[in-house]
Amino acid sequence: MDTITTENFRKMLLSYLKTKVHLFMAVLLVSSCSSSSSNKELVKDFYARAKQHENELSILFNVSYTARGDRNDKPMIPRIEIALNERETITLPGISNEMTDEEIKESTFYKNVQIYSTRMGLPDSTAYHDVKEYSSSILNLAHKLEAYKVQSTPRLGEFIIFTLTSEDQVIYIPDLSKVNSDYWRDFFSSGKKLDNNWYYRNPKSISPDE
């Protein structure tokens, strides 16, 4: 039997380690390609879905929300952030058509319904109904779009960021003249266009304005 010298052992170990590294890189590449392909399909499907509801999207200007899981195969959105102006935001409860008045009045942010209606100058006689309709309209559209996070704020401008995954955002911008942020003006002048009003972005390229 041949004796394994120290030098031979070292060569065998290096060969083994190189093989492990190559296998790891191959698995990583396959995984990355699979994920990339899956994400592309997700973005494509969302874009097609959102285009069908493009005439409804104005209701999401100055609105932000994040889904907290699913309920009955729909995004569960317990709270909606409404930007009243560039400095002030109010939180409304996420109200769906399926919720009873008792469930609405027991929701965490129900007390803000009156505050919001006062700030918006809504008459007391219709305030509850108007806010309920407004919130439920947002949720109805959110359920159609199926984006887990939506952001729109007057501080940055009149556009809507739809976050689909940690690596994929689709952005709706109907009027480039209504962008208030230098970062976003630069992005819209050089970013990846889906069409005249739609852009794709990888959110890992973090903006200082976000």
Q: What is the pLDDT of residues 32-50, one digit of tens each?
A: 444 467 788 999 999 999 9
Backbone angles phi, psi at 199, to 5 degrees: -135, 155
Q: How far apart are CA 170 and CA 127, in angstroms?
A: 34
57, HSE (Cβ side, Cα atoms, 13 Å): 24
In a domain, 13, yes or no: no
* pTM of the entire predicted model: 0.79
pLDDT of residue 76: 87
What does the pLDDT look like over 111-152, one tens digit per residue? 999 999 999 999 999 999 999 999 999 999 999 999 989 999
Domain region containing 134: 52-201
182, HSE (Cβ side, Cα atoms, 13 Å): 1
The stretches of 120-181 forming alpha helices (DSSP H) are: 127-145
Q: Map residue 87 onto helix, strand or coil.
A: coil
In a domain, 209, yes or no: no
The more confident residue out of 75 and 175 is 175
In a domain, 77, yes or no: yes
- Split into its structural domains, the chain has a count of 1
In a domain, 34, yes or no: no
In a domain, 36, yes or no: no
Chain-wide mean pLDDT for the chain?
Answer: 84
Token representation of residue 23? 């296998």
> Is 207's pLDDT higher than 90?
no
In a domain, 99, yes or no: yes
In a domain, 29, yes or no: no
In a domain, 26, yes or no: no
DSSP state of 89: E
